[in-house]
């Protein structure tokens, strides 16, 4: 759920561009490389987009008009290649189509994949139209609303809610994301994080097992972000009572500076949670219950850039600090492209108010 928010928060690196496995990435004592656009006295080999010289990484974007516009950064290979192919994905009910082959479920009518209607038989949630779920009785039924019991999983609930099955795994209560107050029990507590807790943070106490936990005050960084660091012990946080330790991670900047990763209570974590809450509310009755957090759904409701920017900023916070233009183009383009798209949209909205 939520684009695997909890796992993303814990695992951090999730795409090929980030699977560099640099030995300096996550160390107790850090020595980082510097990343910057090449200087006039540096010659980049033909077909390359960068050069490693000692602790310095000099970069130059690949030509956007060539057949090899993509800079491969894996293991600092830094070679220009053809843009990686993106697999064509079939769409679900509620999503656009131009031919029947575009729809994985349902039929393509009026340029949209149309699935099973309310009362129609089903075996999978994916078969039902937006606003519906496949009930235990094998028919498409209206998704369960906030505060109503009877859910077996979050997929039974409206798109902006999860199933809080505190007493029975087959009879939980649909609970709106990010609304459960501190001190109350949730059943999605993983690695200290919960999608249902208002703070985003949870703790396991007593005899709690599995994913049972109690919503708690989210830790925040003890120092103002961004926080420079040389080792993990520089990255302290607190919930007002207890102390926590984050990780010190190398950035992509010309100074070779490393920074502390934020805590879930810090602005980057809270922003990601808020962006998801907004997006999921917008997806209700527009996207299939299974697709509530899919890129195709986020694109359909105009929230993909919002989520990409917030997701990247949270997961790779040290990496986006102090980027020059070449780093922005090669290493952190997903964040900057999404952020700039949001800025343009906001500017257009402001200008329109004055016209």
Helix (H) or strand (E) holding 11: helix 5-11
Which residue in 253, 274, 254 sits closest to 316, CA to CA? 253
Q: Report pLDDT for 159.
A: 98
pLDDT at 209: 66
Side-chain half-sphere CA neighbours of 72 within 13 A: 12
- Residues 108, 121: Cα–Cα separation, whole Å: 19
The mean predicted confidence, pLDDT, of the chain is 89
pLDDT at res. 169? 67
**For residues 168 and 152, is the Cβ–Cβ distance under 8 A?**
no
pLDDT in tens, 128-175: 999 999 999 999 999 999 999 999 999 999 999 999 987 766 789 999
Q: What is the DSSP string of 117-163?
A: PTT-B-SSGGGBPTTEEE-TTSBEEEPBPTT-EEESSGGGB-TTEEE
High-pLDDT (> 90) share of the chain, %: 81
Task: Give the per-residue pLDDT at 340.
Answer: 84
Q: What is the pLDDT of residue 198?
A: 98
What order of strands is seen across the sheet that includes strand 243-245? Answer: 220-221, 236-238, 243-245
How far, in Å, CA of 97 to CA of 113, rounded? 6
Give residue 224's pLDDT band: very low, low, confident or very high (50, 70, 90): very high
Q: What angle do CA 331, 335, 337 make, to 5 degrees?
A: 100
User: Which pLDDT value is given to residue 207?
Assistant: 63
What per-residue confidence (pLDDT) applies to 168?
65
How many CB atoms are located within 10 Å of the residue 75 CB? Answer: 10
In this structure, what DSSP letter does residue 67 have?
S
Report the predicted TM-score, pTM, of the whole model to 2 decimal places: 0.84
Position 87 scores a pLDDT of 83
* Burial class of residue 44 (count of CB atoms within 10 Å of its CB; 0-12, 13-18, 19+): middle
pLDDT for the residue numbered 7: 39
Average pLDDT for residues 333-348, to the nearest whole number?
A: 69
Whole-angstrom distance, CA of residue 316 vs CA of residue 294 = 20
Q: pLDDT band at 206, cuts 50/70/90?
A: low
H, E, C per residue of 214-254:
EECCCCEECCCCCCEECEHHHCEEECCCCEEECCEEECCCC
Distances (CA, A) of 5 to 177, 191, 194: 12, 12, 9
For the chain, the distance separating the N- and C-terminal CA atoms, rounded to the nearest angstrom, is 41
| pLDDT score recorded for residue 208 | 61
Pick 126 or 25 by higher pLDDT. 126
pLDDT of residue 179: 98
Strand-pairing partners, residue 314, are: none
- For the stretch 273-295, pLDDT in tens is 999 999 999 999 999 999 999 99
Neighbours of 40 (CB within 10 A): 5
Q: pLDDT tens-digit profile of 290-330? A: 999 999 999 999 999 999 999 999 999 999 999 999 999 99
Contact 236, 242 (CB under 8 A): no
């Amino acid at each position: 759920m939520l684009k695997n928010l909890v796992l993303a928060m814990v695992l951090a690196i999730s795409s090929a561009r980030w699977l560099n496995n640099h030995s300096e990435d996550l160390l107790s004592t850090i020595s980082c490389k510097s990343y910057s656009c090449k200087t006039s006295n540096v010659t980049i080999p033909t077909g390359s987009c960068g050069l490693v010289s000692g602790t310095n990484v000099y970069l130059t974007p690949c030509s956007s008009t060539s057949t090899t516009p993509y800079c491969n950064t894996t293991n600092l290979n830094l070679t220009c290649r053809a843009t990686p192919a993106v697999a064509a994905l079939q769409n679900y009910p509620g999503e656009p189509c131009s031919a029947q082959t575009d729809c994985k479920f349902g039929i393509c009518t009026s340029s949209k994949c149309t699935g099973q209607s309310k009362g129609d038989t089903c075996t999978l949630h994916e078969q039902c139209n937006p606003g519906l779920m496949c009930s235990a009785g094998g028919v498409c039924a209206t998704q369960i609303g906030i505060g109503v019991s009877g859910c077996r999983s979050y997929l039974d609930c409206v798109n902006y809610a999860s199933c809080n099955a505190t007493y029975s795994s087959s009879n939980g209560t649909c609970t709106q994301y990010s609304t459960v107050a501190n001190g109350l029990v949730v059943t999605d507590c993983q690695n200290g994080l919960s999608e249902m807790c208002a703070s985003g943070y949870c703790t396991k106490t007593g005899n709690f097992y599995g994913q049972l936990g109690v919503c708690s005050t989210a830790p925040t960084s003890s120092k103002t972000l961004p926080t420079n660091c040389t080792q993990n012990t520089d990255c302290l946080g607190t919930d007002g009572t207890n102390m926590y330790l984050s990780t010190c991670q190398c950035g992509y900047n010309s100074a070779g500076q490393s920074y502390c990763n934020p805590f879930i209570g810090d602005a980057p974590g809270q922003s990601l949670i808020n962006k998801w809450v907004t997006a999921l509310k917008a997806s209700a009755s527009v996207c299939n219950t299974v697709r509530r957090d899919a890129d195709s759904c986020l694109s359909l409701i105009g929230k993909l850039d919002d989520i990409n920017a917030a997701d990247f900023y949270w997961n790779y916070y040290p990496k986006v600090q102090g980027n020059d233009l070449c780093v922005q183009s090669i290493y952190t383009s997903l964040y900057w492209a999404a952020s700039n798209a949001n800025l343009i949209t906001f500017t257009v909205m402001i200008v329109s108010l004055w016209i």
